[in-house]
Structure 1
Amino acid sequence: MNDRWLRCRAPRADPRVRVVCFPHAGGTAGPYAAWGAALDGRTELSAVQYPGREERIEEPPPHDLDALLSGVCRALLPLAGRPLVLFGHSLGAVVAYETARRLTRQGAPPARLVVSGRRAPCVPVTGDLHTRSDDALVAELARLGATSAELLAEPAFRTVYLPAVRADFALAETYRYAPAGPLPCPVTAVIGAADTEVDHDQASRWAAHTTGAFTLHTVPGGHFWFVPDDTGVLHLLRTAAHEASRPVPSESETPA
């Protein structure tokens, strides 16, 4: 897969279902794309690579959600011939949700949306970290456990990394939900029991954003509940992919 928006480390010749992962603020496609090798041979996983990081480092980081969504959806529409499962963590949950809305309007709704570590879109998010100093951003990243302390202590790394982090936090903190119809696909939400960024009530309100089934999982851990042990998130993605790959029964097959 050569599209600049997507990274796929384990392409499948004839995937039954495709999983697409949307990284957190400051995140890159690499760690998420690595999960693909642990899925079965009929499930293909890709991760979205936002501008301004890794091989896209020369591009300005995203400052406009609409432009970001346009690029992502252009990359995903050609893949919509197979069921799509969208997974997003934190900021990635918002981007995945808005991507699902846009794909639905374009006639290619995902088979399932999985959101992690983020309150429902209808619950306002506030914050001004994107306007604070570099040291304040670094302190927040260290608190959340998103990036190693050793890397954050390196001036060269901070120079390259923090512009994308700041832009991502701006998207996350200034996002405002525009009311519209709920998604037709099932939604699964997951939060860490010790997550300081979202609580059970805020996550449970994702139920209002779907006409399909809604499930909320509370798992051990904090905001980055799947770091360093990704066993739980891999199980979640395998389950979501398996359910998305099931054929939809026709009316004649549906029990009365």
Structure 2
Amino acid sequence: MATAEDFGLWIRKLSTPDDPRARLICFPHAGGSANFYFQFARGFDDFEVHGVQYPGRQDRRREPFRKTVQELADEIAGLMGDWNDLPVVLLGNSMGALVAFEVAFRLETMGVAPLSLFACGRVGPMLGKDEETHLKDDDVFLREMALLGGMGSELLQDEEIIELVLPPMRADYRIAETYRCSPGTRLSVPIHVHIGKDDPKVTEEQAAEWKHSTTGEFTLDTHEGGHFFFTDNGDDLTRTISRSVPDTLATKV
């Protein structure tokens, strides 16, 4: 049975409104941490926002990396199974979208499905996309990081920073690039996909493939910006998530 200590390792509270009407769980991109969503969380007045902290980075850097997206999802869903006092919305960016999708599937199987899933900056789970970036040398790998953004270019010149971020980044890339969606892994809850129109990794056509991963509502929205569009242009996404809760609850009545 999961302990409070286990829960605190994995799931970090980023905002604490007085009277929350829903809970938003945010799953970071490859190499990312729970605190990546700290600024984003400030855009919600009445959502309790949490970020997931994967092992192998920051205060969890001494823990082993997990070997698959599914292994990560098993552990996270196990922690969240009894955590249903509020409507739960999942949001994942890039690799985090895959983890959130697999967590949503497990929660649904357990009878505690989330209200909806927001998937950002990622091709549909049914599309295998192994560019073997995780196998490339450090210089090529760092150029890939610079292409996507998410880390300031000055940080990518700092050898101490590189030494800290490269191992979790490469480990995460490996599990994201080798991820294969198991047959029958499909949700019944709504999936809302959001991408930046200048994202070098995701086309609108590829993002639309998420529609095959749910029998419920599907939407696709394109925003100004790139792979991490919502770090500079997140107001539309924040409003959309906020509106989705009463809209989705209304369909369940």
Same-fold call, TM > 0.5?
yes
| Structure 2 CA distance for partners of 1:32 and 1:242, relative to 1, 3 Å | farther
State the secondary structure of the residue aligned to 2:9: coil
Measure the CA separation in 2 of the matches of 1:38 and 1:98. 26
Q: Given that residues 184 and 210 in structure 1 are in contact (C-alpha distance below 8 angstroms), is that contact kept between their aligned partners in structure 2?
A: yes
1:86-125 residue pairs with structure 2 within 5 A?
86-125=90-129
Q: Given that residues 83 and 244 in structure 1 are in contact (C-alpha distance below 8 angstroms), is that contact kept between their aligned partners in structure 2?
A: no
Q: Given that residues 224 and 233 in structure 2 are in contact (C-alpha distance below 8 angstroms), is that contact kept between their aligned partners in structure 1?
A: no
| Structure 2 CA distance for partners of 1:124 and 1:64, relative to 1, 3 Å | closer
State the Cα deviation string for residues 173-221 of structure 1 (Å, max 9, x = none).
1001111153111110111111121111111121111111111101111
State the secondary structure of the residue aligned to 1:78: coil
**Corresponding residue for residue 231 of structure 1:** 235
Which piece of structure 1 moves more, 148-157 or 222-231? 222-231
State the secondary structure of the residue aligned to 2:174: helix
**Corresponding residue for residue 20 of structure 2:** 15
**Corresponding residue for residue 39 of structure 1:** 44
State the Cα deviation string for residues 149-184 of structure 1 (Å, max 9, x = none).
111111111111100000000011100111115311
State the Cα deviation string for residues 72-93 of structure 1 (Å, max 9, x = none).
1122223223211110111011
| Structure 2 CA distance for partners of 1:181 and 1:9, relative to 1, 3 Å | closer
Which piece of structure 1 moves more, 233-242 or 103-112? 233-242
5+ residue gaps, structure 2: none
| Structure 2 CA distance for partners of 1:111 and 1:220, relative to 1, 3 Å | same
**Corresponding residue for residue 209 of structure 1:** 213
TM-score of the superposed pair, with normalisation by structure 2 = 0.91
Q: Given that residues 90 and 117 in structure 1 are in contact (C-alpha distance below 8 angstroms), is that contact kept between their aligned partners in structure 2?
A: yes
Which piece of structure 1 moves more, 214-223 or 67-76? 67-76
Measure the CA separation in 1 of the matches of 2:168 and 2:135. 13
Q: Given that residues 19 and 86 in structure 1 are in contact (C-alpha distance below 8 angstroms), is that contact kept between their aligned partners in structure 2?
A: yes
How many residue pairs are counted as aligned between the two chains?
248
Q: 1:243 Cα deviation (Å)?
A: 3.1
Q: 1:226 Cα deviation (Å)?
A: 1.5
5+ residue gaps, structure 1: 250-256
State the secondary structure of the residue aligned to 2:24: strand
State the secondary structure of the residue aligned to 2:231: coil
Q: 1:229 Cα deviation (Å)?
A: 3.4
Q: Given that residues 14 and 51 in structure 2 are in contact (C-alpha distance below 8 angstroms), is that contact kept between their aligned partners in structure 1?
A: no
Q: 1:104 Cα deviation (Å)?
A: 0.9
Q: Given that residues 185 and 210 in structure 1 are in contact (C-alpha distance below 8 angstroms), is that contact kept between their aligned partners in structure 2?
A: yes
Q: Given that residues 27 and 96 in structure 2 are in contact (C-alpha distance below 8 angstroms), is that contact kept between their aligned partners in structure 1?
A: yes
